[in-house]
């Protein structure tokens, strides 16, 4: 049966106290709704529809995928009313799965199991057993264990509130049946809303079997209504990703102090120290060691390389047996050849450092092509930007760049060239030769450094009517 997924994402989230719509609040630096969409797409549906409302244009702009269907809930009249807005776009022969834009940790495996329980003539819903189900609708069963009703917490009596099996709101049924039940919903309740959960009662009245499938873990169906709940989800997400890395054989110095915010591929015997952050797509080869506080975003690090503490890699590619940091920054377009070294407070941007080349201290290399076996001295800067354009610097194999050198691009340093320390190079430096540029050093005999006036001298100047010279010693 064809599958349409409907994600209800119209809520305002007043308790977040934010100008950002609730479904755009970040979890692992991605919107909550993005996580739900990932799960929905993993099911291979024929269509995905999003019901939006508060901050609607902001939500739509965040997800420009033309394959998504959008339905506006202009008035917040309940979950049943929200689903009604999407139904006109769904054919009767489809099966409908209802998800929520603020429930981001629900796994595809759980939903596949739920869908497997959904026959053409049945209604399946996802429940969860909670120690404290306060605020959740309760799943009510008869003496035979058959689901006959869901009651919202505010409408439940004391006996019903004691039930620990709660409704998650996630459900699946045929589109034709849902359309029939939605048309019969009433808002005769404490909230004056059209509850989607009331379709359970209507299904029972129609003699349709209602199948409640319990979620494997309460953490999987956690929703977000305030900052505390968002922080709780962040902790759970972090725990899950750390557990996955450990299961893949990665060594974590402390599983509670690592943030994985993207797709990570690790080789064998990878070691990650505390407070490492991995974003986007990160690939780490065999035996890579990442020191504490490092941040890697869309980065590739080949086998046997070491990243020392507090280094930042963003869009960088690091070869085998490289040493990076501490406190190095590799920006987009940075590439290190095998065996290259980048040391403390060195920054590369759109620059290649060739095989075995080194830039170990206090250096900026931007828009540069640097060959193999090059030594770049401390304090070297490629002056690549003239305020409008970026200009290239090329350094040949085996060159030696002395400390404190300014390479004013566009400029070429030949293979084997040596640049004297403290030079400002504006013209090509020939291969295998020493090039240096320095102003003449001067000594001025008898020169004395200006001295500040003593208290006595300053007082004498004041008494004489002359302005005082300088500050007191």
**Residue positions annotated with a catalytic role:** 361
Distances from the Cα of 232 to the Cα of 52, 218, 219, angstroms: 25, 12, 9
The DSSP 8-state label assigned to residue 117 in this structure reads T
Which stretches within 96-187 are classed as H helix?
108-116, 158-161, 175-182
Question: Euclidean distance between the first and final Cα of the chain, in Å?
Answer: 91
In three-state secondary structure terms, 40 is helix
d(CA 164, CA 455): 84
Calculate ∠ Cα 39-45-49, nearest 5°: 80
| Region for 463 from its dihedrals, namely left if φ exceeds 0, alpha if ψ lies in -120 to 50, beta otherwise | alpha
* C-alpha distance from residue 99 to each of 38, 39, 112, 172, 419 (Å): 12, 10, 13, 9, 64
- In a 3-state reduction of DSSP, which class is residue 16? helix
Strand runs labelled E in 319-417: 323-324, 329-330, 335-336, 341-349, 352-353, 358-366, 368-370, 375-376, 381-383, 393-395, 400-401, 406-408, 411-413
What's 137's DSSP letter? P
> How many CA atoms lie less than 13 Å away from 238 in the CB half-sphere?
20
DSSP 114: H
Q: Is the peptide bond prior to 115 cis by the omega test (within 30 degrees of 0)?
A: no
Residue 363 and residue 376 in contact, taking contact as beta carbons nearer than 8 Å = yes
**Is 304 within 8 Å of 287 (Cβ atoms)?**
yes
> Nearest 5°: phi and psi at 68?
-75, 140
How distant, in Å, are the alpha carbons of 81, 183, 196, 211 from that of 193? Answer: 8, 14, 9, 24
Strand partners, 174: 95
């Amino acid at each position: 049966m064809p599958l349409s997924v409907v994600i209800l994402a119209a809520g305002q989230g007043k308790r977040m106290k934010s100008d950002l719509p609730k479904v755009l609040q970040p979890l692992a630096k991605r919107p909550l709704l993005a996580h739900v969409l990932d799960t929905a797409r993993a099911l291979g549906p024929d269509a995905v529809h999003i019901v939006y409302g508060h901050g609607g244009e902001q939500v739509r702009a965040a997800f420009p995928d033309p394959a998504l269907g959008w339905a506006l809930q202009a008035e917040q009249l309940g979950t049943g009313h929200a689903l009604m807005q999407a139904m006109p776009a769904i054919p009767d022969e489809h099966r409908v799965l209802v998800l929520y834009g603020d429930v981001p940790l629900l796994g595809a495996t759980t939903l596949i199991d739920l869908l497997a329980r959904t026959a053409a003539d049945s209604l399946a819903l996802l429940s969860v057993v909670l120690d404290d189900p306060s605020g959740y609708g309760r799943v009510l069963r008869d003496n035979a264990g058959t689901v006959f009703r869901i009651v919202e917490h505010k409408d439940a009596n004391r006996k019903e509130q004691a039930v620990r099996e709660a409704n998650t709101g996630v459900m699946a049924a045929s589109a034709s049946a849902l359309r029939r039940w939605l048309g019969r919903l009433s808002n005769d309740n404490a909230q004056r809303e059209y509850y989607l959960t009331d379709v359970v009662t209507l299904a029972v009245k129609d003699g349709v079997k209602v199948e409640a499938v319990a979620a494997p873990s309460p953490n999987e169906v956690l929703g977000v209504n305030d900052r505390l709940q968002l922080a709780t989800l962040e902790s759970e997400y972090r725990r899950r990703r750390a557990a996955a890395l450990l299961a893949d054989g990665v060594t974590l110095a402390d599983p509670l102090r690592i943030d994985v915010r993207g797709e990570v591929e690790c080789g064998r015997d990878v070691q990650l120290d505390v407070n490492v952050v991995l974003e986007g797509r990160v690939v780490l080869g065999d035996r890579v060691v990442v020191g504490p506080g490092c941040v890697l975003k869309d980065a590739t690090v080949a086998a046997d390389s070491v990243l020392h503490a507090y280094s930042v890699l963003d869009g960088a590619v690091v070869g085998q047996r490289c040493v990076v940091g501490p406190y190095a920054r590799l920006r987009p377009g940075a590439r290190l050849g095998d065996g290259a070294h980048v040391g403390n407070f060195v920054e590369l941007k759109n620059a290649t450092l060739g095989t075995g080349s080194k830039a170990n201290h206090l250096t900026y290399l931007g828009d540069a092509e640097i060959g193999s076996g090059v030594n770049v001295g401390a304090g070297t800067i490629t002056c690549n930007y003239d305020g409008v354009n970026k200009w290239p610097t090329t350094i040949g194999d085996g060159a030696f760049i002395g400390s404190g050198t300014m390479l004013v691009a566009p400029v070429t340093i030949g293979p084997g060239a040596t640049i004297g320390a403290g030079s400002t190079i504006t013209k090509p430096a020939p291969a295998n030769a020493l090039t240096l540029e320095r102003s003449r050093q001067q000594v001025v005999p008898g020169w004395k450094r200006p001295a500040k006036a003593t208290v006595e001298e300053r007082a004498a100047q004041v008494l004489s009517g002359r302005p005082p010279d300088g500050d007191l010693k």
